[in-house]
Structure 1
Amino acid sequence: MTIGAAFSLQNPIDTVVRQAREAHEAGVRSAWFGQTFAYDSPTLAAIVGRDVPGLQVGTAAIPVFGRHPLIVAGQAQTAQAATGGRYHLGLALGTRHLTETGFGIPYERPVARLREFLTALRALVETGSADFHGELLTATTPLPATVPGVDAPVPVLVAAMGPQALRVSGELADGILPLLAGPRALAEHIVPAVTAAAEAAGRPSPRIVAFVPGVVTDDVERVRERATEALSFYERFPSYQRVIELSGATRAVGVAAIGDEETVAAEVRRYREAGATEVVFTATDLGGEADQRRTWQLLGELAKG
């Protein structure tokens, strides 16, 4: 199982690079970066991947609203070339509030947009060209769209958890990036749905990259309080409310892995048994630098075993 960590976007680039290097030296195999209205995630991933040889890097995840497949394909292929084939592109539906408030774009037919975006994007990253004319977007290449130095197509994953998004992702993507989906939700709902869709489309078994808030710490009560506050942001959105409930929890913190090494390692095993092919820990900084390094150390040990 590949074990990774997501990194905060609240730090300067040099700090992010240093943290990613420390995590990789501890044995962490992959580093993932969110997409906000600040950092450009593929650029940040390319910088980190180039400065930390051997580390897999990824974006989790770029909303399809407010972007175009031609632009995203260029960003992803540039990061892939810069890192020698170690970049992984994550896409997302985003949310109505952020889409309409930030971009002024109506949040309409998100799953249909995702399908068209993936269809055009796959052509671009696999062949370097596209001639796609859909209901919601057009992507054609009157000029070449291949980046020199890209020897393999960029893996494309989707932060999908709902039934329709899982179906589209199974048909058109290489895997999914579920966040706050506990082992129960994965095993009973998410993994069967995306796997069945991939099989029906004649595609390989999808990657299941589970994003899990997790910290190794002795101060469990303090870290859990901080996690409760930090993760409450997600509880505003129906998609996360649903997957948290399917996980058997009432709050987002209910799916967090917080405790000593034995406790957290047991949680990682539960995700593996539920069908996760990879686990990425988020929110590792909630306990402070010492706990963060301790978390990376455990993740590195689990990656070896």
Structure 2
Amino acid sequence: MDIGIFSGVTGRGFDALVADAGDAAERGFHTYWLSQIVQQTDAMTMIGAAARRVDGIRFGTSVVPTYPRHPMVMAEQAMTTSLLADGRFTLGIGLSHRPVVEGMWGMSFDKPVRHAREYLDALMPLVGGAAARAVGETITARGELEIDAPEPPVVLAALGPQMLRLAGERCAGTITWMTGAATLAALTVPTISEAASDADRPPPGIFAGMPIWVTDDVDAARDAAARTFAIYGELPSYRAMLDREGLDGPADLAVIGDEDTCAGRLDELEAAGATHLVASEFATDAEGRRRTRSFLAGRL
């Protein structure tokens, strides 16, 4: 199982991002991921700039919401980012959530799977160097790009069966969040893998995003996880994943404990079929961050 770092420093400015990504590259981590947070800096712009300063690691977005960006605009930006990153870029996209799409952007969240399917109908030819000729119920895209850049793999954030099948049929894999080993083994991996096989596609990447803090003070870390990730216990799609695991909230899912305990949890993820760990280091103190990253580097 490859290991990547889910950046937790984007809110601290560009120099902090470069330093953190540079540290990840020097330690040998495979990937470095930025989330597209509403009302914060543009993730692909930050990646394109950071990749000019940091070599030896692949960058990715986890994830860019589809609704506010027409697929041609998404493709233009993704190909530009791939150009700046010398091909070391993976485009992770996702639907976001009804409260954001409807409440903040004033757009309809009706039939999200239809939206995702039509979005990929337009996006995938464009990032693959072909013309888009997509005319759907909600999305139309006609034309092609004139950007000479390596094709970025596209991974689709998918939790439920319909989205997982779509990811397997059309994309390089999926990236998950708040999804435990039992759900990966019983739902995620078999569903997306079967869809990819039926579509004669290569085995998909399973990028498992997971909060982690290596510590001896488990109670304090659980309290921090409960506060930091509280929203994910309320959003319906993530709540469903926690319910499948039989967990009360995100603090129960987070990987917390000493090195042996955390190693056991990561072994479970790998046995469940995760091909990549995307580690969200959420320690609130410098020693916790150092210890967590050193532990992860020791598993490379």
| Alpha-carbon distance between aligned partners in 2 of 1:290 and 1:146, rounded to the nearest angstrom | 48
The answer for the alignment partner of 1:109 in structure 2 is 111
2:232 to 221, 234, 242: 234
Q: Give the aligned CA root-mean-square deviation in angstroms.
A: 1.3
Which runs of no fewer than 5 residues in structure 2 stay unpaired?
Answer: none
1:292 to 289, 293, 298: 289
The answer for the alignment partner of 1:192 in structure 2 is 190
Moved segments of 4+, more than 3 Å: none
Superposition pairs of residues 213-252 of structure 1, within 5 angstroms: 213-252=211-250
The answer for the alignment partner of 2:133 in structure 1 is 131
Counterpart secondary structure, 1:244: helix
Counterpart secondary structure, 1:286: coil
Deviation at 1:31, TM superposition (A): 0.8
Deviation at 1:135, TM superposition (A): 1.3
Deviation digits for residues 29-57 of structure 1 (CA, Å, limit 9, x no counterpart): 21111112211111112222221101111
| Alpha-carbon distance between aligned partners in 2 of 1:167 and 1:233, rounded to the nearest angstrom | 26
Question: What is the number of residues matched between the two proteins?
Answer: 298
Q: Using the aligned pairs only, state the percent identity.
A: 34
Counterpart secondary structure, 1:181: coil
| Alpha-carbon distance between aligned partners in 2 of 1:52 and 1:85, rounded to the nearest angstrom | 13
The answer to whether the 8 Å contact 2:212/2:282 transfers is no
TM-score w.r.t. length of structure 1:
0.94
The answer for the alignment partner of 2:6 in structure 1 is 6
| Alpha-carbon distance between aligned partners in 1 of 2:208 and 2:161, rounded to the nearest angstrom | 17
Superposition pairs of residues 1-305 of structure 1, within 5 angstroms: 1-8=1-8, 9-37=10-38, 38-141=40-143, 144-148=144-148, 150-151=149-150, 153-282=151-280, 284-303=281-300
The answer to whether the 8 Å contact 2:117/2:166 transfers is yes
Q: Larger deviation: 121-130 or 110-119? A: 121-130
Bigger relative contact order (CA 8 A; separation at least 6): 1
TM-score w.r.t. length of structure 2:
0.96
Which runs of no fewer than 5 residues in structure 1 stay unpaired?
Answer: none
The answer to whether the 8 Å contact 1:23/1:293 transfers is no
| Alpha-carbon distance between aligned partners in 1 of 2:145 and 2:101, rounded to the nearest angstrom | 27
Deviation at 1:10, TM superposition (A): 1.9
Counterpart secondary structure, 2:51: helix
| Alpha-carbon distance between aligned partners in 2 of 1:272 and 1:292, rounded to the nearest angstrom | 23
| Alpha-carbon distance between aligned partners in 1 of 2:17 and 2:265, rounded to the nearest angstrom | 26
